[in-house]
Amino acid sequence: MNIALGTIPFGTTVGEDDSFAILDRFFEAGGTMLDTANNYPFWVEGRSGDESELTVGAWLAARGNRDEVFLSTKVGARPTIPGDTTLDSAEGLSAPVVARAVEGSLRRLRTDYIDVYWSHIEDRSVPLDETLGAFDELARQGRIRSAGASNVSAWRLERARSLSVSRGWLPYTYVQLRHTYLRPRPLTRPVESGHVLATDDMLDYVNAEPDLTLWAYNTLMAGSYTRPDRPIPEIYDHPGTARRLAVLHEVSSELGATPNQVVLAWLIADGYVPIVGVSTMAQLDEAIGAADVKLDDELRTRLGAPC
């Protein structure tokens, strides 16, 4: 199943038993890709940011299935001041930070390797060489198997990949950004600090690079496609959105699928990996159902018409 499961609420708003049940159902349905970070959810009052990794680690240990899971976690955006709920004191991406952070993640996740290790943010105060060299060192030690960059601009990602290749280092082969079916208005920025949108330029770059895979977050906009209690974020407020939503609803009813499922199927058909964040079994089942929704060329053309 080409869908990754996000784990932000696991161990906090979703307790351990419910988290285990969601992880079990995802795994039984053929899901293998998990996404966490060394700081989820530090922005919630009273939380350290260890909770998500600890819960995923406890589940992996309880089920003994580490080698059947494709595990990803991140470094760079953990606060260095305990209790700071902003990114102002983020640890960044210096070599000592990367070397130390991976130990914490491996311990909490109860494993000795990470399948994709992401730089969570850009840290322009550190030379790219230093960060990329630190990632490469972890690969040589067998602690990480591949590298990804999250919340990065297209030019920096291209520069980083070229640099790694020229040095014979492990290059970033994954990129994680905010991306969904609706397109944002130009020159807007998400209100969530740290979120970076997949620009047209970035999508063009990803599509041109066969060894680069996009994992998309906020794919269902926290439920806004279907929930009246979740207004569509302001960054999508432009005339094209109404047209895209109309086509989305038409296609959903033609296929007998939900709009959320068509959004996920659309991203998968583009070759991207949608990350889904769920807090209930019903939400998970709806997402899993998207793996069976097939969009033929005609439907993809209709859905993808310029807006």
Ligand X SMILES: NC(=O)c1ccc[n+]([C@@H]2O[C@H](COP(=O)([O-])OP(=O)(O)OC[C@H]3O[C@@H](n4cnc5c(N)ncnc54)[C@H](OP(=O)(O)O)[C@@H]3O)[C@@H](O)[C@H]2O)c1
Q: Which residues bind ligand X (CB under 6 A)?
A: 6-8, 35, 150-151, 176, 194-195, 217-223, 226-227, 260, 275-279, 283, 286
What is the dihedral angle through the alpha carbons of 71, 30, 215, 58, rounded to the nearest 10 degrees?
Answer: -30
Q: Which of 98, 102, 101 is nearest to 111 (CA)?
A: 102
- Known catalytic residue at 217: no
Burial letters 273-307, b for 16+ CB under 10 A, else e: bbbbbbbeeebbebbbbbbebebeeebeeebeeee
Any idea what DSSP says for residue 77?
-
* Shortest distance, position 178 Cβ to ligand X, whole Å: 7
Closer residue to ligand X in complex, CB, 71/102: 71
* Shortest distance, position 297 Cβ to ligand X, whole Å: 26
Closer residue to ligand X in complex, CB, 195/300: 195
* Shortest distance, position 280 Cβ to ligand X, whole Å: 6
Cis check: omega of the bond before 127, within 30 degrees of 0: no
Name the β-bridge partners of 217: 178
Any idea what DSSP says for residue 49?
S
d(CA 286, CA 257): 9
Closer residue to ligand X in complex, CB, 207/280: 280
d(CA 247, CA 242): 9
Name the β-bridge partners of 148: 118, 174
Closer residue to ligand X in complex, CB, 8/170: 8
Place of tokens 């909490």: 108
| Strand positions, DSSP E, the chain | 4-6, 33-35, 70-75, 116-119, 147-150, 172-178, 213-217, 273-276
Closer residue to ligand X in complex, CB, 129/237: 237
* Shortest distance, position 129 Cβ to ligand X, whole Å: 23
Closer residue to ligand X in complex, CB, 129/156: 156
Cα Rg, the chain, nearest whole Å: 19
* Shortest distance, position 261 Cβ to ligand X, whole Å: 8
Q: Give the active site residue among 40, 117, 225, 272.
A: 40
* Shortest distance, position 74 Cβ to ligand X, whole Å: 7
d(CA 94, CA 87): 16
Q: Which residues are catalytic?
A: 40
